[in-house]
A and B are shown apart, each in its own frame.
Chain A
Amino acid sequence: MALTVTRLTSPTAADLDGLAAFGQALAAAHPNWSCDPDAGVAPDRDMLDRLAAAMTLVVARDGPDIAGFAAVRDDGTIKWLVVDPGRLAAALGILQAVRTRSGEAKGKVRAGAVRDALVAQGCTAAGERLTFR
């Protein structure tokens, strides 16, 4: 399926419900996952609602399925990146979208940038090989 990345400038209740469900499912499926949702903090509906008010949400979909999302600050930096560990390519797509918006040339984001972002969040260890699909 093709990966699509969308910026939710005015997220609907359905958008936020979908992201919350995605986050809760991730937390349930990966209880030991060190990446976000971080220890005990799943992206619930209240939190997403407030993050949407404070930042911009960028969503990556693999076909109809949500593969990940990010909360992006006004300066273009990522506050929170939540991706399905089985679909890390979603993270790449999100980063591409964000970086493009912030002025970097499209296509310059590489796997290393994804890894750095995930390492920064504690999602994975530095040097760990990531597989994108």
Chain B
Amino acid sequence: MPTANLQVSASAGDAHEKADGTGFASTFTELFLDSNSAAASRYNGGLRFASVAIPFGARIDSATLEWYVKDNKTDSFDVDVYGQAVDNASDFATDADVTSRTPLTTATVGYSAVDVAVGWATVGDAKAIVSELVSRAGWASGNAIVLIVKGRTGTNRAGNVRSYDYSGNTFGPKLTVVWTAAKTLSGSVGPAGAVVKRTRRSVAGSVGPAGTAVRLTRRVLTGALTPVGAIVRKPQRTLAGTVTPVGDIPPRRLFRTLTGTVTPAGTKQVRLSRRLTATLTPVGNLVLGALGQIFGARACATQTVSPTALAIQVIEERQMATMTLAQTGRARQTLEACA
């Protein structure tokens, strides 16, 4: 499995600051990570890992955080580690702040230990934190991660770890991430702004512009996923036939049952009986009374409604059919076209 061996790589890549917002320092040779009930005696630390070559949506198998305990006097810790929940965290020169950096990840790792031996100490597995960060819609491989180490309030402990400034990459905090790439999507989903959720496997269909987020693909989607702003969730079945996002289905094409989702908001779902064809049109209309219209027709029956209303063209058996799929609105159709 791919492994990203990350380490604080610049003087401005780590810092500490008291919980009351004073005492910021990013050029010390050590980081103070103290727990204390008093904010003025409690220290928080920040660790920045740059150029994190992990792709969006990767599964994080482990993320081991380690730091080098500096001495055997200030070698006790009681802290919680968070991630800064941003897409690309800035360093501590650009943003000279540790305590107030927000938002923080929901995921956290606790570390409580006393009299830790001088040397490398394993803080814990931060995979939940890293996973949360690389799953952000704006995450891109090569971005930077900042971990915030916050001293707890229930104990009084002093902990020192080596910073980058002590000896560069020799003793700077390390984060080793083992990850697995997300499964390939056979296409992306939908136009800008559209979000498709809970899809775990391949998505077959057209793929929209930048800004689209695809998460947790669970099922095969066949057919086009479309209109702008639409959210397509859990398509259950294969769409047989041609389902275009916008536009028409040519005549003589609908010889089979067409089942599937065709569109957006505002349109009522209607099931038409067999041997019927219909034209569904513009926005926001309801399909009403179609069957009654048909039963009363001997030959070709046509019902036309104004552009702002629904137009249903009903054609009796053995007649040619034309079907237009709505540009917006949603309709689920069972259709059988005429030969």
Q: A: which residues have CB within 8 A of B?
A: 36, 38, 41, 43, 46-47, 50-51, 53-55, 71, 74, 79-80
* Interface residue stretch chosen among B70-78, B172-180, B210-218, B251-259: B70-78
Question: 8 Å CB contacts to A: which residues of B15-57?
Answer: 32, 34-36, 38, 41, 43
Q: List A contacts of B74 (CB < 8 A).
A: 47, 50-51
A-B residue pairs in contact (CB < 8 Å), sample of 5 = A41-B71, A41-B73, A54-B35, A54-B36, A54-B157
Hey, what's the 0/1 contact readout for B56-86 against A, CB within 8 Å counting as 1? Answer: 0000000000000011111010000000000
Structural contact, B32 and A50, CB atoms closer than 8 A: yes
Closest-CB distance, A123 to chain B (whole angstroms): 13
Residue of chain B at shortest CB distance from A37:
B73
- B319 within 8 Å of A (CB atoms): no
- B158 within 8 Å of A (CB atoms): yes
Instruction: Give the residue of A41, A50, A79, A80 whose beta carbon is less than 8 angstroms from that of B34.
Output: A50
Report, as a range, how many residues of chain B touch the other chain. Answer: 10 to 19
- B206 within 8 Å of A (CB atoms): no
Structural contact, B73 and A47, CB atoms closer than 8 A: yes
Structural contact, A53 and B34, CB atoms closer than 8 A: yes
Indicate whether A36 sits within 8 Å of B76 (C-beta atoms), given known contacts A50-B158, A53-B156.
Answer: no
Number of A-B residue pairs, CB cutoff 8 Å, is 42
Structural contact, B34 and A54, CB atoms closer than 8 A: yes
Closest-CB distance, A21 to chain B (whole angstroms): 18
Q: Chain A at the B interface: mostly helix, strand, loop or mixed?
A: mixed
Q: List B contacts of A47 (CB < 8 A).
A: 73-74, 158, 160
Closest-CB distance, A56 to chain B (whole angstroms): 10
Structural contact, A51 and B71, CB atoms closer than 8 A: no
Question: 8 Å CB contacts to A: which residues of B146-168?
Answer: 156-158, 160
Structural contact, A55 and B156, CB atoms closer than 8 A: yes
Inter-chain CA distance A43–B70, complex, in Å, is: 13
Closest-CB distance, B68 to chain A (whole angstroms): 14
Closest-CB distance, B267 to chain A (whole angstroms): 66
Structural contact, A80 and B158, CB atoms closer than 8 A: no
Q: List B contacts of A51 (CB < 8 A).
A: 73-74, 158
Closest-CB distance, B180 to chain A (whole angstroms): 41
Closest-CB distance, B92 to chain A (whole angstroms): 18
Q: List A contacts of B41 (CB < 8 A).
A: 50, 53-54
Inter-chain CA distance A79–B158, complex, in Å, is: 11
Indicate whether A36 sits within 8 Å of B73 (C-beta atoms), given known contacts A51-B158, A54-B156.
Answer: yes
Q: List B contacts of A36 (CB < 8 A).
A: 73
Inter-chain CA distance A44–B36, complex, in Å, is: 20
Inter-chain CA distance A118–B41, complex, in Å, is: 29
Inter-chain CA distance A55–B72, complex, in Å, is: 14
Closest-CB distance, B184 to chain A (whole angstroms): 51
Closest-CB distance, B265 to chain A (whole angstroms): 60
Structural contact, B36 and A79, CB atoms closer than 8 A: no
Q: List B contacts of A55 (CB < 8 A).
A: 156, 158
Instruction: Give the residue of A53, A71, A74 whose beta carbon is less than 8 angstroms from that of B73.
Output: A71
Inter-chain CA distance A51–B36, complex, in Å, is: 11
Residue of chain A at shortest CB distance from B37:
A53
Q: List B contacts of A53 (CB < 8 A).
A: 34, 36, 38, 41, 156, 158
Closest-CB distance, A16 to chain B (whole angstroms): 13
Inter-chain CA distance A54–B36, complex, in Å, is: 7
Inter-chain CA distance A112–B36, complex, in Å, is: 35
Inter-chain CA distance A36–B157, complex, in Å, is: 19
In the complex, besides A47-B160, A50-B32, 16 extra interface pairs with C-beta distance below 8 angstroms are: A38-B72, A38-B73, A41-B70, A43-B73, A47-B73, A47-B74, A50-B74, A51-B158, A53-B34, A53-B41, A53-B156, A54-B41, A54-B156, A54-B157, A71-B73, A79-B73
Closest-CB distance, A77 to chain B (whole angstroms): 10
Instruction: Give the residue of B32, B73, B160 whose beta carbon is less than 8 angstroms from that of A80.
Output: B73
Inter-chain CA distance A43–B74, complex, in Å, is: 11
